[in-house]
Chain A
Amino acid sequence: MRRYLGRKLLIYLLTFFVAVTIDWLIPRFMPGNPVDTMLARMALRADSAEVLRSYYIRAFKLDLPLWQQYLNFWAALFRGDLGISTWLFPQPVFQIIKRAVPYDLFLLLPAIILSWIAGNRVGAIAARVRWLDNTILPLGYILTASPYMWLAIVLAWALGNVAGIFPIAGAYGFGLRPHLSWLFIKDLLWHWFLPFSSLFLVMFGGWAIGMRNMIIYELESEYSRYLESLGTPQRLIRKYAFRNAMLPQITGLALQLGGIVAGALATEIVFAYPGIGYMILNAVQNQDYFLIQGCFLFIITGVLLANFIIDLVYIVVDPRTRLGMTGE
């Protein structure tokens, strides 16, 4: 057990190191540099631009040799310092992420978990109820195949622009000051509903189809047939099938949760919802090395952590893993 976990942990640390290095390296392969992009946006007179350019290049330590910048990056990372954003100058990257993450959690956590629960339930039922299978399956395929962006635009157009029921942008009404009251909470939820629905619907389709196919596969596997030939009641067989079919779904859920902060990029852009996805897009467009690094660091950590948790969960839910460990 300890050896198993130890080895896993080592692999994760190694992956982390490599991933973070790549994360550091890739933005630097882009032509140009963040300071020039920042100055281009200012559209200053050339003499002012030159003064600021030399200042910021020094301030952001971009004049150092690359290897030194790399070492500085790790040193700063261990101090918990992710640097200062050039796009959102002069805000520290950590602050920006801290303010954006709640929007993502608020949007994605309910969408992922509710769609997972509902998708699995409905998928499992669909596997054995013919009329439901005939409706859910095509609907599921349509939903899961529709790009988030497209579904979001359709929802915004139909329910926002045409029907005028829901607002089409922002996290809460532009005429509202954030404060604790029913008025504000209602407004927040009202703005949240469309982005949430667009994510929920697409994810729901995916989970439902996955579960349905898995159940059918399990019901046709040898252990089910064996149970059937022993005369086991259908309910019990289904229960076993459901449990086995759950395993890949759990992996899927954990991976979705791990990548949570990046999951809603398209949706956030369509609804002007200020989460991490929106930050990443802009950071890349503005060559903001520091914000790109920071956002992806969050994603890398999230994915690795989720994987590690799956490993732990599997020990509990999948006896084969435990068997493998004792067999070592």
Chain B
Amino acid sequence: MRGSKFLTVVGLLTIAALVLAACQPATVEVTRIVTEEKEVEVTRIVAGTPVVEVVTATPAPAEEAEVTYPRNETLYTSGKQWGPPTSWNPLQPGSYAMGVIGLCNETLFLYDPLKNEYIPWLAESGDWVGDNVYEVKLRQGVQWSDGEPFTSADVVYTFELGKLDGVYYKPLWDWLDKVEAVDEYTVQFTFKEVRYQEWGNTLYSVAMVPKHLWEGRSEEDIVNGDNLPPVGTGAYLYETHSEDRMVWKRNEGWWAKDALGLSVGPKYIVDIVNPSNNVALGLFLKGEMDLSNNFLPGIATLVEGGYGVQTWYDDPPYMLSANTAFLFMNTTKKPMDDPAFRKAMAYAVDVDEIVTKVYGNIVQKCNPTGLLPVWEQYVDQDVVDELGFTYDPDKARSILAEAGYQDVDGDGFVEAPDGSKIELKIIVPFGWTDWMESIKVVANGAQAVGINLQPDFPDFGGYWDQLTGGTFDMAINNFGSNMSDTPWTFYFWLFRNPITDVMSNGNFGRYDNPEVFDLVVELDKTPIDPEAMKPVIAEIQRIQLTDMPAVPLWYNGLWAQWNSTYWTNWPSAQEGAPKYLPCTWNGYWNMTAILMLTELEPVQ
């Protein structure tokens, strides 16, 4: 009886399997539709109901619209898009779809962090022509994708938009006086106050928009519109998008072909909205995704295991470092207001364990200053030798003992010098699994030296509320320590001031020290010259390592893994390989990722 029941189940399952097996994948045939009119009707089938969408074709001569993207001409990417693409407005820095700034709307300069070089892009050159006047010469022969020429009027218009409420570069006008077009290809910026570092940062991050299309728009539309389809000067044109993808098509009339002899390899770029980890990994291993900028735990084993997965380095840390994860301590609360206690925390955390056990070696332990490897030259080794720290629980215990922290009631945890109990929490957002694991390591380290610190995982809203509102005890954060052209952005974040009710981004521990605040301003006003910047930065480092307002722990990677089944000549640390950042995230296309595309070659 039992046997027959089993057999029946197996039989049914076999039949089911056969039925499924019969449904072979559809063979893909390439069909081409030639469109001649300006308006192309594209009918898409959604849920069995035909939805007719009218797409306005580019005024370029009648062109073939392909319905399938040939695999050897298409680059599949993923990593930037956390939800359906919804905005193509370069003024909306958090929302714009993958590639809007960089592939479509371009900046005056690019910045190469690996060489610490500004690369003239839409600008041909830029110089200080007076004490407070910066002059940009524009490249001639650059065209918007609708055929209009790109001129100084567009540059002036773009910067003038910064006067509107709700545009992210509005703070620029606190120290910028005016922007004027000297002639069709020359623009002069006159400053009320010269902030060299901030200006350098602005030059490669603000993307140009076409005046002739934007000037008729309402203020509301400029700030909050979705700007579809986007018109830019860039290497790619908007092709299509849907809930789970963003598709770009090569702009055959891109200016850099003639001007710089550059052309981008992939004809299409299909960016896939970040799926869950298992799907991302599955697509990647099946060769359906070429470049993944997702954080994929355990990727190191795949690199080592010969699955055709490649990363920047062949060995640990595999990835370039993109930002620094800090342990923030709330200096307005006891005992975190005591520098000795904060220093003890720095000595108590075993970062190596986080690097190896939590991250499987795809991140790097950081320098005591927290400065990224690209800023290595600014680390003052004398200061680090004198004041730097490393994992040393005994040292942590002795610092605590010297400062008067003792275990009075015998529960294994120290009490504050005034005898009050210490019970602290360290928070990271729930679901951020790598951070969740790492604060367990931090808490264990603290407990081992006698500090009662417990990990806690509120959801993101709660985490952010506690962090920005100043009600947390300790937390991990890295939101402003990103790679950029200047360590000023890093210190501006770390020592954000003034201290207000809500610390929007930076100085979450509310460390209040006018001396260091002034130094950050001084750094901002220092010309972009490492030799001039180093003394100021050394001063900042001295204060940072003496007072230890936040403890730098590890460098998060520039998560990037690719496979060479369809595209080769990827940038990497290998000899002879191009040295550009392999990254599709916001702000990286203009940090040389666009040049990666000019190097990619299809596999024949």
Please list the residues of chain A having a beta carbon within 8 angstroms of any beta carbon in chain B: 30-33, 36-53, 55-56, 59, 84-85, 87-91, 96, 99-103, 105-106, 131, 134-135, 138-139, 153, 156, 159-161, 163-166, 168-171, 173-181, 183-188, 190, 193, 269-272, 274, 282, 285-287
Let me know if B243 and A103 touch, CB within 8 A: yes
Chain A contacts for B170, CB-based, 8 A: 48, 51
Cross-interface CB contact of A91 among B21, B86, B283, B286, cutoff 8 Å: B86
Report if B43 contacts A (CB, 8 A): yes
Let me know if B493 and A171 touch, CB within 8 A: no
Q: Which of B83, B170, B278, B468 has the most CB of A within 10 A?
A: B83
Let me know if B243 and A165 touch, CB within 8 A: no
Report if B147 contacts A (CB, 8 A): no
- State the Cβ distance, B10 to closest chain A Cβ, in Å: 10
| 18 A-B interface contacts by CB (under 8 A) | A32-B461, A40-B464, A42-B94, A42-B168, A53-B504, A88-B84, A89-B92, A169-B283, A174-B76, A176-B67, A177-B65, A178-B242, A180-B50, A183-B67, A272-B279, A285-B460, A286-B460, A287-B461
- Which residues from 462 to 485 on chain B have a C-beta closer than 8 Å to any C-beta of chain A? 462, 464-466, 468, 479-480, 482
Smallest CB-CB separation from A42: which chain B residue?
B94
Let me know if B505 and A45 touch, CB within 8 A: yes
Let me know if A177 and B87 touch, CB within 8 A: no
Report if B361 contacts A (CB, 8 A): no
Q: List the one stretch of B22-30, B108-116, B304-312, B330-338 in contact with chain A.
A: B22-30
The 7 closest A-B pairs by CB, nearest first: A42-B94, A32-B461, A102-B47, A274-B243, A178-B44, A106-B47, A272-B275
Smallest CB-CB separation from B283: which chain A residue?
A169
Report if B496 contacts A (CB, 8 A): yes
Cross-interface CB contact of A159 among B20, B82, B169, B276, cutoff 8 Å: B20
Query: How far is it, in angstroms, between the C-alpha of A55 and the C-alpha of B89 when the chains are bound?
Result: 17
Chain B contacts for A165, CB-based, 8 A: 20-21, 23-25
Let me know if B68 and A175 touch, CB within 8 A: yes
Cross-interface CB contact of A38 among B50, B94, B492, cutoff 8 Å: B94
Chain B contacts for A185, CB-based, 8 A: 45
Report if B272 contacts A (CB, 8 A): yes
- State the Cβ distance, A184 to closest chain B Cβ, in Å: 7
Let me know if A59 and B168 touch, CB within 8 A: no
Chain A contacts for B26, CB-based, 8 A: 183, 186-187, 190
Let me know if B492 and A32 touch, CB within 8 A: no
Query: How far is it, in angstroms, between the C-alpha of A102 and the C-alpha of B462 when the chains are bound?
Result: 33
Report if B38 contacts A (CB, 8 A): no
Chain B contacts for A99, CB-based, 8 A: 84, 243
Cross-interface CB contact of B480 among A45, A102, A164, A184, cutoff 8 Å: A45
Chain A contacts for B431, CB-based, 8 A: 285
Smallest CB-CB separation from A181: which chain B residue?
B31
Chain B contacts for A272, CB-based, 8 A: 244, 273, 275-276, 279
Let me know if A106 and B48 touch, CB within 8 A: yes
Let me know if A179 and B93 touch, CB within 8 A: no
Q: Which of B243, B502, B503 has the most CB of A within 10 A?
A: B243
Report if B15 contacts A (CB, 8 A): no
Report if B71 contacts A (CB, 8 A): yes
Chain A contacts for B54, CB-based, 8 A: none
Taking A46-B505, A89-B92 as contacts, is the C-beta distance between A103 and B462 under 8 angstroms? no
- State the Cβ distance, A238 to closest chain B Cβ, in Å: 23
Query: How far is it, in angstroms, between the C-alpha of A163 and the C-alpha of B22 when the chains are bound?
Result: 13
Taking A179-B43, A270-B276 as contacts, is the C-beta distance between A41 and B94 under 8 angstroms? yes
Query: How far is it, in angstroms, between the C-alpha of A20 and the C-alpha of B530 when the chains are bound?
Result: 60
Chain A contacts for B458, CB-based, 8 A: 31
Report if B380 contacts A (CB, 8 A): no
Let me know if A52 and B168 touch, CB within 8 A: yes
Report if B574 contacts A (CB, 8 A): no
Chain B contacts for A38, CB-based, 8 A: 94
Chain B contacts for A179, CB-based, 8 A: 33, 42-44, 67
